[in-house]
Amino acid sequence: MISRSTIDQVFETSRVEEVIGDFVQLKKAGSNFKGLSPFSDERTPSFMVSPVKQIWKDFSSGKGGNVVAFLMEHEHFTYPEAIKYLAKKYNIEIEETEQTSEQKEQADERESLYLVSEFANTYFQNILHKTDQGKSIGLSYFKERGFSEETIKKFNLGYSLNDWNAFTDEALKKAYKLEYLEKTGLTIVKENKQFDRFKGRIMFPIKSMSGRVLGFGGRILTNDKKAAKYLNSPESEIYHKSKILYGIFHAKQSIAKENNCYLVEGYTDVIQMHQKGIKNVVSSSGTALTSDQIRLINRLTKNITVLFDGDAAGIRASIRGIDLILEQGMNVRVCMFPDGEDPDSFAKQNTLEEVTLYLESNAKDFIQFKASLLFEDSKNDPIKKAETIRDIVNSISKIPDRIKREVYIQECSRIMDISEQVLFSTLAQISKKERQIANKEFIREKKTFEVIKHEKPGEKINVQYQLERKIIEILLLYGNKEEDFEDLILKEDEAGELILEPIINQAKVFEKIYLDLQEDEMEFSNPMFKNLYYTIVDTLNQNSELGLKNIINSVEPEVAHDITTILMEDERHNLHNWESKNIFPKNKIKGIAQLVTETILNLRCFLISKKIDELSLQTQEKLSNQHKEILDEVMSYKKLDNLLSRKLQKPL
């Protein structure tokens, strides 16, 4: 178990904008940073990071919290894993207390799968570097491919012995459970037998964006026609091949810095390019590109350059999947290597300057590339040419930006020697068809919604909940600020009528709220707000220099999430850059005293109205001699309600 002092040091040292910046491309937005949500598919930023408050909020999914919460949500870390990740990032030595056997047993299945994968990663590396078979077969192969010792170690390359159960036996010997060896796919279990999945293969660990081992790719080195050349880990609780890109851990910072991502096909393509000095390279590991993989890149850059081998047939098969990239509003370029070359061989045979120059000179816009490539195949066949034109226009229709679509139509018209009018007409037909499909889907969903709406009518707004929530927000944002408050003293005038007489008192916000609530004996009805209210007030009483993150880091994750949601609501307007449109949102900090007073008065009015309703109900149930007493009490409350309503300028 990690010691409290280590956890406190991690929170004190880590910067939420730096950590999240490793996973999401962030841009300055006033005092905050904004970016695309890493939890949903979007084109307009709704993800906000506050360096001042050391919290983040994703308005598209509703998620939010501190730096640890981000790692737990994004990387599916446990709390201790997130702390260890941050400690490693900021070079903080971890102090651990002894775990009980009960605590060890509480490790969940996901963590067990990660531990097994990490063990396998270390094991395969040791086999590669420390055994005769590993050195003579695995290491010699990597050296022949031109990989340096530094590169081999950086990418954690390894080797699995050509033995049916060498790895499995060693893992069981180290007390790893067969259940988890099987679930990660490292061990295949059939009836009462078990054997290694990656027997006799060189090993490529596949890592998450944060560097955790999720699975493996293994390449066989023998000429066994019955065995697949490449073999990947099967899908598991931690490994989903459609959601990860090989090399993303090593490439993420370079992708963000260069504002471009090179997409290649294989493991060795990534490694060779990285070794050459071009580090913003990832691979889909031989699988068709998916929306989830594109979103990984989209968090870091809007620009993708797809690198194709010099194989025309392979290119035609691959370009069909690139429409997915266009759909997400990204800019796609294509670079084709000379015949017989691929990124691996080309990088190996040329200098960094030569490779860089080739990529810059030969990368073409995807639509232009596709039009030129397909036109060569169809220029002498009218029917094939018509099909090609429709295919290209279909790709153009995927682009969300209207201006880009029009520019591409003009370019396509020039390349294909066909009028723009025909192309625009074809585009309109495709768009109309897509709209019709979308409308049908919308109508279907609307009908479903209407059924749900009919069955479950919406609940009324809980006014007391909203007011209590507002009080918590004020305490969190301005609790320690000192303001001049206009207090209202209830007294009788010369005619004996109740009046509210204002007096000015100077106090801290949290003191003002606490005294007002205590004076009126007002209690929070929401248990979470009640608990949070006393936590904040108690903390401010003990330490007037309270930092927001001290509260967030000390409460339960569910409560921390609610605090973040409250704190970041005011930051939402920063996502839209209103100032550029000459719209300047009001700065709430200039009217804190008024905000506090109005919120407390509104809560008083609500509770008085509630009391009046309760008393009115009692008049129907009580006997006549008690009836008059209750009516008198109702009238007193109504007078007070009218006074407060006039102060708030509410209609009576």
Q: What would the DSSP string read from start to end of 321-382?
A: GGHHHHHTT-EEEEEEEEET--HHHHHHHS-HHHHHHHHHHH-EEHHHHHHHHHHHHHTT-H
Instruction: Give the model's pLDDT for residue 445.
Output: 45
Banded pLDDT at 305 (limits 50, 70, 90): very high
CA separation for the pair 261, 298 (Å, rounded): 9
Q: Which residues of 314-333 are buried (b: 16+ CB within 10 A; e: fewer)?
A: ebeebbeebbbbbbbbbbbb
Instruction: Give the model's pLDDT for residue 456.
Output: 47
CA separation for the pair 321, 289 (Å, rounded): 6
114 membership: H or E segment, kind and range? helix 109-130
- Residue 576's Cβ-side half-sphere holds a number of Cα atoms within 13 Å equal to 11
Range with the poorest average pLDDT among 64-78, 123-137, 255-269, 568-582: 568-582
Q: What is the average per-residue pLDDT within 433-452?
A: 50
CB atoms within 10 A of CB 630: 18
Range with the poorest average pLDDT among 241-245, 312-316, 580-584: 580-584
**Per-residue pLDDT tens digits for 455-478:** 445 556 688 888 888 888 888 888
CATH of domain 248-427: 3.40.1360.10
Nearest in space to 474 (alpha carbons), one of 555, 558, 536: 536
Instruction: Give the model's pLDDT for residue 461.
Output: 67
Q: What is the average per-residue pLDDT within 287-304?
A: 85
Q: Which CATH architecture has domain 4-89?
A: Alpha-Beta Complex (3.90)
Query: What class does CATH assign to 107-239?
Result: alpha beta
Which range among 170-174, 292-296, 308-312, 554-558 has the greatest average pLDDT?
170-174
The answer, yes or no, to whether residue 215 has pLDDT greater than 90, is: yes
Nearest in space to 168 (alpha carbons), one of 190, 185, 182, 187: 187
Q: What is the average per-residue pLDDT within 626-632?
A: 52
**Per-residue pLDDT tens digits for 475-499:** 888 887 888 877 656 566 666 666 6
The answer, yes or no, to whether residue 614 has pLDDT greater than 80, is: no
The answer, yes or no, to whether residue 375 has pLDDT greater than 80, is: no
CA separation for the pair 454, 548 (Å, rounded): 43
Q: Enumerate the domain spans of the chain.
A: 4-89, 107-239, 248-427, 463-573+589-648
CA separation for the pair 348, 354 (Å, rounded): 11
Which range among 223-232, 251-260, 377-386, 408-417 has the greatest average pLDDT?
251-260
Report CA-CA distances (Å) from 230 to 222, 267, 401.
Answer: 12, 10, 39
Q: What is the pTM of this model?
A: 0.65
Q: What percent of the chain has pLDDT above 70?
A: 76
Rama region for 622: left / alpha / beta (φ>0; ψ in -120 to 50; rest): beta
Range with the poorest average pLDDT among 44-53, 510-519, 540-549, 617-626: 617-626
Nearest in space to 560 (alpha carbons), one of 19, 46, 69, 49: 69
Banded pLDDT at 449 (limits 50, 70, 90): very low
Mean pLDDT of the chain: 80
- Do the Cβ atoms of 123 and 167 come closer than 8 Å? yes
Range with the poorest average pLDDT among 451-455, 533-537, 632-636: 451-455
